[in-house]
Homo-oligomer: A and B are copies of this chain.
Amino acid sequence: MFNFVVYLNSMCATFDFTEKQIQILLVAETLFADKGFEGTSIRTIAKEAKINIAMVSYYFGSKERLLESLIFYRTKDLKIEIENLLVEDLEPIAKINKLIALYINRINSNKGIFRILHFEMATQKKELNIKSFYDLRKSNLKSLEAIISEGQDKGVFRKDISIPLLTPTILGTFFHFYMNKEYFMDILQLPTEDSYNNYITVDLTKHIQQTIKALLIYES
């Protein structure tokens, strides 16, 4: 049994998960997103996934490593998606807009894992092996830098832009909106789930695009 766990851990960077493992990951994802990592027990996961409680330890080694696996599983193909955008033949501002839309759409259709990341990153869990996620962020930052440089070379964007601060503005705005769902549904009078989601993909996306555009080309 112990050997199997080691195998899983060393190989998960290259190999995929089995159907059974994915089933557990998906259940864990929604529960972690709803109740938080600490707030979700292995027994609840097991009951929801209709498996024995021992199976979680058996497949992933521990609860912490289950979370690691989940993060890896959900973020492994985001890097490629961003990099594909770079080579497209678009104006810099159009590229930025597409990047923003891609981010929001991506996060919005994977609400669970990003909520978890947002949460559990903040609580000190230094043992967490989320290097893959850390690398992903650096890579995404590099992609963003490339687009901005292109725009600066073409004379469209300002020269004095703090690129690392663009991500907090893009993602932060989205997350704050998303984390305070109830409040904004009330304030903006969005009675249904659908109207709320629609507001995100249309109005909020537009707002963020407009914000970044203003920041990139407006001369003070």
A→B interface (CB under 8 Å):
34-36, 38-39, 115, 118-119, 121-124, 134, 137-138, 141, 162, 164-165, 167-169, 171-177, 179-180, 183-184, 187-188, 203-204, 207-208, 210-211, 213-215, 218, 220
Min Cβ gap A193→B in Å is 15
CB <8 Å contact, A211 and B207: no
A contact face: mostly helix, strand, loop, or mixed: helix
Contact of A39 among B38, B208, B214, B218 (CB under 8 A): B38
Inter-subunit contact B169/A211 (CB<8 Å): yes
A153 to B34, CA, bound (A): 44
Q: Are B207 and A165 in contact (CB under 8 A)?
A: yes
A187 to B177, CA, bound (A): 25
Q: How far is the CB of A188 from chain B (nearest CB, A)?
A: 6
Residue with the highest number of chain B CB atoms closer than 10 Å, among A119, A121, A138, A180: A180
Q: Determine whether the beta carbon of B220 is less than 8 Å from that of A215.
A: no
Chain B proximity of A79: nearest CB distance (Å): 16
Q: How far apart are A211's CB and chain B's nearest CB, in angstroms?
A: 5
